[in-house]
A and B are shown apart, each in its own frame.
Chain A
Amino acid sequence: MDFCEILEKIAHHIEKNAEYLDELDAVMGDGEHGFNMKKCFNTVKLMLPEWREMSNVEILENAGMTLLTAGGGTASTLLGFFMRKAAGAAKKETVYDAKSIAGILNRALESTLERSQAKVGDKTLMDVLIPAVREFSEEAENGDIRAAAKAAARASAEGVKATGQMTAKRGRGFYVAERGLGTADPGAASLDIIIQTICGELFKEG
């Protein structure tokens, strides 16, 4: 699995959906989430040639740091932080299988939860991240990484759909409250695009 290739695909899918993300954000916040995410991943894309020789863990660390630099919103910042923490946890592992990856994701999630303090139901990107990591971990118990990725992709899609029925308790959406009903959270939606891209690449590899 080549992380540079995956990041390039993510940048492509984010760019393709930037307008849709902006539309969601126009209801929930200030209408620039798609623009911001596009900016972030375009910066990542520009860095890729320099990262080609690096290990996947180093690529993950650098991509996380890039999101923390180029960011311009809480969603990209939290995502960058998650990636940095995941890279930190990954450095302590020697084998990367379903179980150890679940462990890495859970440690990164724990730190991110502590920072964001958002829970499931608050209508933030955590409504996608938490169930995706949880479902991945449960399925990973059986040692099948593809099944785990499939479960994560399903949980992610359900998570973003569920945010459409929520009233925001945290984040920018908090200020629009009921008016946001029927609209998915933009941060959750962009994370879902990222997760679907990663999982899609996993299946392709066979």
Chain B
Amino acid sequence: MKKIINRPDDVVRDMIEGMRLANQDIRVLPGTGVVVRKDAPVPGKVGVISGGGSGHEPAHGGFVGKGMLDAACAGDVFTSPSVDQMMKAIRAVDAGRGVLIIAKNYTGDNLNFDMAMELLEEEGIKTAKVKVHDDAAVEENADTTGRRGVAGTMLVQKVACACAEAGGSLEEVKEAAQSAADNVRTIGFALSPCIIPAVGKPGFSLGEEEMELGTGIHGEAGIRRMKVDTAHNLVEIMLEKLLADMPLEEGEEVCVLVNGMGSTPLMELYILYREVHMKLTGEGIRIAKAYVGEYMTSLEMAGASVSIMKLDERRKRFLLAPADTAGFKQF
């Protein structure tokens, strides 16, 4: 393991401390790993929070700020935050109009958020939750937890938070988040694995010429192993899978997010985007907005994901609204 850290057990604490020192628009609730917008609770605004295991930076702490999240809870690496962290985050951002939680669909995260919500109900704080499960690589199955929440979560957060910033009620913000979650799909791939600092070795291995399609953001198994192919062919395969799950009609408007997993050069992300752009526009799809960069990483995993969100007037307006955070700026 080659990492620039102090002690494996301290990585999250040290990172959160670094985030706080580097960003004057946030504060950290002492001893919690909860990053909060400095001016929270923002009077008259519905609060929006998110959270999950660490290792996906800038998600979610890097998205705390004006136009985006009011707070984010950072758990240990790839581990759900505690109920206590979530309760503190919610209390810190509630301005009396309620708080929406945007959770990626993982058992631990959702169990803990649900408990936090139930316990805060006793304190009279109104909450609602929307689950994001955008990973088109995993089939929905009634017996299991269902699809994983991956990079598309950032787009859902953007839409919901803009709705909250515009003065939406808790019900309206929840509805905006839900419509965004219902209309976004993601598919990813990995070229090399990631190493959890406290574990010290990779969770899986890939051969020199091998890649895995559909890998999750914690290195969970994907759909299949294949030989590394050209960007052109890879995008063909990825979009076929994604569009089979969420068909697009000619003339439809979308947002595209090409997300790097941690150690994929921007050069390759732009090459991927070019292929996605040409393929979609070639089929008469209109791309209203594109994001290319690192938004939901998996430590040092090499690989990327492509997310597509279908837009209507409302989602488009919220998506394009300004935001000023360390990990996402738009003016």
Contacts and interface: CB of A to CB of B under 8 A. Distances in A.
Please indicate whether A and B come from the same complex rather than being unrelated chains.
Answer: yes
B83 A81 contact: yes
Contacts of B114: 115
Interface string A67-89: 01111101001101100100010
Nearest to B112: A77
B112 A84 contact: no
Contacts of B87: 68
A115 B84 contact: no
Given A74-B108, A77-B111, A116-B111, A68 B82 contact: yes
Contacts of A68: 82-84, 87, 115
A115 B82 contact: no
B119 A84 contact: yes
A115 B87 CA distance: 16
B208 interface: no
B83 A71 contact: yes
A6 B108 CA distance: 29
B111 A80 contact: no
A144 to B, nearest CB: 32
B25 to A, nearest CB: 27
B75 to A, nearest CB: 9
A57 interface: no
Contact of A81 (B107, B108, B115): B115
A188 B253 CA distance: 51
Given A84-B119, A88-B122, A111-B118, A69 B111 contact: no
A10 B85 CA distance: 25
Contacts of A69: 82-85
Given A68-B83, A68-B84, A115 B108 contact: no
B83 A115 contact: no
B111 A74 contact: yes
Interface in A59-110: 65, 68-72, 74, 77-78, 80-81, 84, 88
B169 interface: no
A71 B87 CA distance: 14
B53 to A, nearest CB: 12
A77 B122 contact: no
Given A88-B122, A115-B114, A115-B118, A80 B83 contact: yes
A37 B226 CA distance: 42
B79 interface: yes
Contacts of B83: 68-69, 71, 77, 80-81
B188 to A, nearest CB: 21
A115 B83 CA distance: 13
A174 B68 CA distance: 36
Contacts of A84: 119
A72 B76 CA distance: 9
Contacts of A81: 83, 115, 119
A78 B76 CA distance: 18
Given A65-B84, A80-B83, A115 B122 contact: no
A111 B84 CA distance: 18
A65 B87 CA distance: 11
Contacts of B82: 68-72, 77
Contacts of B76: 72
A77 B115 contact: yes
Contacts of B107: 74
B43 to A, nearest CB: 29
Interface in B109-125: 111-112, 114-115, 118-119, 122
Contacts of A65: 84
Contact of B115 (A70, A72, A115): A115
Interface string A51-62: 000000000000
A131 B108 CA distance: 24
Interface string A21-38: 000000000000000000
Contacts of A111: 118
A72 B79 CA distance: 8
A97 B169 CA distance: 45
17 contacts: A68-B82, A68-B83, A68-B84, A68-B87, A68-B115, A69-B83, A69-B85, A70-B82, A71-B82, A74-B108, A77-B111, A78-B111, A80-B83, A81-B119, A111-B118, A115-B114, A115-B115
Given A68-B83, A72-B79, A74-B108, 11 more contacts: A65-B84, A69-B83, A69-B84, A71-B82, A72-B76, A74-B111, A77-B82, A80-B83, A81-B83, A115-B118, A116-B111
Interface of A: 65, 68-72, 74, 77-78, 80-81, 84, 88, 111, 115-116
Closest 6 CB pairs of A and B: A69-B84, A68-B83, A81-B115, A68-B84, A71-B82, A115-B114
Interface of B: 76, 79, 82-85, 87, 107-108, 111-112, 114-115, 118-119, 122
